Structure 1
Amino acid sequence: MGIRSFLAKPFAAYIDSQTRQWSLQPGKYQLQTLLDLIAQSKSTAFGKDHDFASIRTYEDFKKRVPVRDYELLKPYFDRVVKGEADVLWKDKPLYLAKTSGTTSGTKYIPITKESVSYHFNSSRNAVLSYVHETGNASFLDGGLIFLSGSPELEEKAGIKVGRLSGIANHQVPAYLRTNQKPSYKTNCIDDWEEKLERIVDETLKANMTLISGIPPWAQMYFDRLQARTGKKVKDIFPNFSLFVYGGVNFEPYRAKLFDSIGKKVDSIETYPASEGFIAYQNSQTEPGLLLLLNSGIFYEFIPADEYFNDNPRRLSIEEVELGKNYALIINSNAGLWGYSIGDTVKFISKDPYKIIVSGRIKHFISAFGEHVIGEEVEKAMKFTMEKFPEVELIEFTVAPNVAPKEGMPHHQWLIEFAKTPHDLQAFSLELDKQMRQLNVYYDDLISGNILQTLIIKSLKRNAFIDYMKSQGKLGGQNKVPRLSNDRKIADVLQEFNSQ
């Protein structure tokens, strides 16, 4: 047993005891978090504009601070980016996390001195939670790889700017850097395909034990390893035992990833965002992600079906119900206030509070009033693949076809298969059947002959990689939306038809 694995176990037990303490008193810790955030921000421009000095309760807070997304808060963010202090949070942020926006173009999310530690510590605690539950810590003595964006940072008005994964790279403590891959030089390569080749060079003969990254990019890494050696990952890295991932639903990728690995390995799902580290999987035997209620974030929840109403309900943690979709709103020590991050979550447990990420509030299809969400298309694909075990999936996205050249309107599923169904028509009909069972509005539209059953367009190999490359978004934390209410993505992907 190495020194890292030896020391990890008592530390993991300590973190577990701390986690139990706040998870058993969620309301108390969340209210205290809100009051602490307000107290520290009374003198900021935002605090003065919203009369923080008079806030005593959550009800007071809701009356003074509306829910807004990045575009509506952009005047404040612009002041921060220009270097002004005490705008959303005291002083200036340490970093600005650069992310891709829609309406506003590039977004710059503040990461402050108070919030930055939670990004790394929450990731660390996810791994320690696994160590405490399973007793397995030996992977900490081997090679650890984090497939991420470049750690090179720019500067704006004296504030360091970069992708979240690159910023996080600077927070890795020295005791882990000795066995961290890839090297800093390799990690700084901008071209994702060249970067992958260099990562393979550096890791091929290493004792890799933990691999972390979003599933589609991990799959690309595994594909490169196999192309270079002709071997399964387990034969290249026999001690590889833990896969840590986040950013997308794992299920559509699970079969192909484990086939590439050649054995089942334990996995930990995390929910990191530029706005804060929201949740992580704390059990290998129970589903869901533990919502982090003591990490400098006060959460609010809006029922998803009310989100676009004029006055939707805003609920605290103690008011949520199991099994319902909520838009996630955060208030944080990064200076985010009433901030809609765009994700929807569903609670599957209240003891402790555990969630699944069910989709994006703006990523849906409702061209005909069906309001299909990401969770539904992913479940439909999962259930269908269970009935067609020969199928392996690389990626897919769904879009409406409102005015097809022939036939009736329909939902078009653009799919890149690693292994295609023996009977694509039967697969398509089963997929449509699953969608009808998951969404009653979609079922009504099919039954009423307003829509025809879904149509699959099979894409050629590497279609999604080529698409992301064409958009300048290959690699890092970038991913294709699972579904869209327009055809902007679908029309470009048409060029990669396999037929």
Structure 2
Amino acid sequence: MEKDRIPEDISSDIFAGNEGKSIPELLKDMPNEKLIKSFYLIENTPEVTQLCVLQDILKSAKNTEFGKKYGFAEIETVDAFRKKVPFSDYSQVKAEIDRLKAGAADIFFNGSAASFIATSGSTGVPKLLPESKNGELVKGLISQIRAILLLMLAPEVMAPGKKVLAIANPSEYGKTEGGIPIGSASGQAAKDMPIEMQKKMVLPPEMMMAKELSNEATDYLTIRYALEEKNLVGVVCSNIAHFNILLKKMNAAAVDLLEDIRAGQISPKISLDEDLRQRLVSKLSPNPDRAEELKTILANNKSLDVAGIWPEFSVVSCWMSSSAAKIVADVQKCLPPTVKFLEWGYGASEGKFNIPDKAQDPAGLLALFGYFFEFLPVGTENNETVLAHELKKGGYYELIITSYSGLYRYNMKDIVYVADINNQIARVVFVCKESERLDIENLKLMIYEIEGSILSVSAQQNQEIRFFQILLDANQRKLVFILEPCSETLDGELFRAALDKSLMADNSDYRKLRNDNILAAPEVLVMKDGYRDSLFTRAIMPGKNVNQTKLPIIIKEYPEKSNIIQWAKEGEK
């Protein structure tokens, strides 16, 4: 079989009647049943599919400024593409993106940008990434397939009368100087949900589309609508920490919320645009029965607990990988044990990269039809990438993407882990950013390596760590571990000694630095309960919310002493 052609049994089923359409356009025209069938056929032929996607992207961009510069029209193979086109990152394409924001066309892809996606901006000023029409189609298709598979894994969501709480960012923030819409990744995902799912949403469209809502107002309204809906069966969000904080705010504001539900109003304490308030209130009705039911639950249980207020709550779809895994474990304690957790999916402003297909599992299948993927093995001394069909189970890789939206060999600076492989079909999970590492002398210590040692010591000591951060004290040449435990029984000194021992056993470079006294013994700071949630509240940037906020694992300053309950140092008790 020639590797630059789709096999006949696949082409006849998926790409029949091409008529000059792109791969995303062909897939978008398919009904759901055929789309899912085609998705699995595509997954079963990663090498062929990826070459076809690359050729499709290059063909569509051959007459652009970038396509002419690198001779896209002459590139026929993967090797030729890798030889001609260098790696890139945002700093190298920013000038061209600025031109696109002003309305320029035919730079990276045909035509002008259809929209821009704002990054979370967790490390500085938010960046804007352009989307082509095909790029928007790809993201929409991935959201569509994710939603279909979610419903296959949790069919109870579609039962008559059941509702879902979708916590998302605004789908549009504003426009660029060229009049092009600016949106958020999660907001676009919510907008791309199938119509059947959109009808299940508990929040009214007027609220979800509002652009000027404060965080306080957004959170209060989200709780108010969700609390009134007894038949809520699940929540969909990117960062489950937001839902966790909403549950706490719900109990703190219980009196006002119950009165609003009883009277069919929105508390005057909540600042809202008067026109929006009137539109929202006009669709509300007094619900004294639900208010009385909630009042009884509050009196009997001493809190508004999930099992009491939403007796059929059974599904959560959210990020489950990386630092989110610990938040998921924490939230699970507040939910009935029967609740299923489904991965939201790995993605960023630049794209959506995998499609989760199993419950209680953060890994997912690569979105092979939407991007050309390359993977740079972590620790490699050269820049030779491997392709999707060449991945190894258990391997860690830096992700490089080529997209329909004009990112060519773009380094995401993300580390992904291959959780499983079956007949060259890889299931991958996001681990951390490439920058999430400690550089000490000749030692490069990745966050996931440090987390592995923390998890190992936690298991040995029968402890659970809710949250951790790491500080490299350059002046005193030592690592400082900031830990928020789930119990009050953690012995900081025992944990510190065991963690030092574990790191020395697992990493020869760390062991050498310690033995040569280049690196001093680590310290452990045990933090007060609620430390992580307080960081989320303080870390929210203007115009953002918890859903868009990521807490750094590596920090540069010591935490406030008022939050520390133990400070364990070598030789001290």
- TM-score between both structures, scaled by the size of structure 1: 0.86
Asked if the contact 2:157/2:233 (under 8 Å) is kept, the reply is no
Instruction: Note closer, same or farther for the CA distance 1:176–1:391 as it changes in structure 2 (3 Å cut).
Output: same
Q: CA deviation at 1:323?
A: 2.3
Runs (5+) with no aligned partner, structure 1? 1-10
- Aligned counterparts of 1:210 and 1:76: Cα–Cα separation in 2: 42
Does 2:164 align with 1:162?
no
Greater Cα shift, 177-186 or 80-89: 177-186
Greater Cα shift, 213-222 or 124-133: 124-133
Q: CA deviation at 1:139?
A: 6.0
Asked if the contact 1:252/1:381 (under 8 Å) is kept, the reply is no
Q: CA deviation at 1:285?
A: 7.1
- Aligned counterparts of 2:240 and 2:53: Cα–Cα separation in 1: 33
| Structure-to-structure mapping, 1:35-434, within 5 angstroms | 35-100=55-120, 105-132=125-152, 136-138=156-158, 142-156=162-176, 157-187=178-208, 188=210, 190-206=213-229, 207-213=231-237, 214-227=239-252, 228=254, 229=298, 230-246=303-319, 248-249=321-322, 250-269=324-343, 270-284=345-359, 288-294=363-369, 296-306=370-380, 311-351=382-422, 352-389=425-462, 391=464, 393=466, 395-404=467-476, 409-417=477-485, 419-434=487-502
Asked if the contact 2:151/2:157 (under 8 Å) is kept, the reply is yes
Q: CA deviation at 1:15?
A: 4.9
- Aligned counterparts of 1:388 and 1:118: Cα–Cα separation in 2: 46
Greater Cα shift, 90-99 or 472-481: 472-481
Tell me the amino acid that sits aligned with residue 273 of structure 1: A
- Aligned counterparts of 1:496 and 1:121: Cα–Cα separation in 2: 48
Asked if the contact 1:326/1:344 (under 8 Å) is kept, the reply is yes
CA RMSD of aligned residues (A): 2.8
Q: CA deviation at 1:132?
A: 3.5
Measured against aligned partners, the alpha-carbon deviations of 1:189-236 in whole angstroms (never above 9, x if no partner) come to: 543344222211111121221212212222212322344351331222
Instruction: Note closer, same or farther for the CA distance 1:129–1:140 as it changes in structure 2 (3 Å cut).
Output: farther
Greater Cα shift, 423-432 or 132-141: 132-141
Runs (5+) with no aligned partner, structure 2? 1-30, 255-297, 566-573
Asked if the contact 1:346/1:355 (under 8 Å) is kept, the reply is yes
Greater Cα shift, 182-191 or 204-213: 182-191
Does 2:546 align with 1:475?
yes
Measured against aligned partners, the alpha-carbon deviations of 1:287-343 in whole angstroms (never above 9, x if no partner) come to: 73211212x20001112223xx6x511222233333222110000111111111110
What secondary structure is seen at the aligned counterpart in 2 of 1:476? helix
- Aligned counterparts of 1:194 and 1:392: Cα–Cα separation in 2: 32
What secondary structure is seen at the aligned counterpart in 2 of 1:298? strand
Measured against aligned partners, the alpha-carbon deviations of 1:127-160 in whole angstroms (never above 9, x if no partner) come to: 4324445665546852222222223431111210
- Aligned counterparts of 1:247 and 1:96: Cα–Cα separation in 2: 26
Asked if the contact 1:150/1:166 (under 8 Å) is kept, the reply is yes
- Aligned counterparts of 1:148 and 1:135: Cα–Cα separation in 2: 22
Aligned to 2:9: none
Tell me the amino acid that sits aligned with residue 473 of structure 2: N
Tell me the amino acid that sits aligned with residue 356 of structure 1: V
Greater Cα shift, 159-168 or 37-46: 159-168
Tell me the amino acid that sits aligned with residue 164 of structure 1: A
What secondary structure is seen at the aligned counterpart in 2 of 1:422? coil
Asked if the contact 1:26/1:293 (under 8 Å) is kept, the reply is yes
- Aligned counterparts of 2:132 and 2:541: Cα–Cα separation in 1: 34
What secondary structure is seen at the aligned counterpart in 2 of 1:210? strand
- Aligned counterparts of 1:88 and 1:66: Cα–Cα separation in 2: 15
Q: CA deviation at 1:346?
A: 2.0
| Structure-to-structure mapping, 1:419-498, within 5 angstroms | 419-460=487-528, 461=530, 462-469=533-540, 474-483=545-554, 487=556, 490-491=557-558, 493-494=559-560, 497-498=563-564
What secondary structure is seen at the aligned counterpart in 1 of 2:468? strand
Asked if the contact 1:139/1:210 (under 8 Å) is kept, the reply is no
Q: CA deviation at 1:45?
A: 1.1
Indicate the structure (1 or 2) with the bigger Cα radius of gyration: 2
Asked if the contact 1:268/1:280 (under 8 Å) is kept, the reply is no
Tell me the amino acid that sits aligned with residue 467 of structure 1: R
Greater Cα shift, 121-130 or 16-25: 121-130
- Aligned counterparts of 2:338 and 2:510: Cα–Cα separation in 1: 36
Q: Percent identity?
A: 22
Instruction: Note closer, same or farther for the CA distance 1:19–1:167 as it changes in structure 2 (3 Å cut).
Output: closer
Tell me the amino acid that sits aligned with residue 202 of structure 1: Y
Q: CA deviation at 1:69?
A: 0.9
- Aligned counterparts of 1:46 and 1:60: Cα–Cα separation in 2: 16
Tell me the amino acid that sits aligned with residue 526 of structure 2: S
Measured against aligned partners, the alpha-carbon deviations of 1:248-280 in whole angstroms (never above 9, x if no partner) come to: 524312332111114241111111211111013
Instruction: Note closer, same or farther for the CA distance 1:136–1:448 as it changes in structure 2 (3 Å cut).
Output: farther
Does 2:41 align with 1:21?
yes
- Aligned counterparts of 2:243 and 2:365: Cα–Cα separation in 1: 24
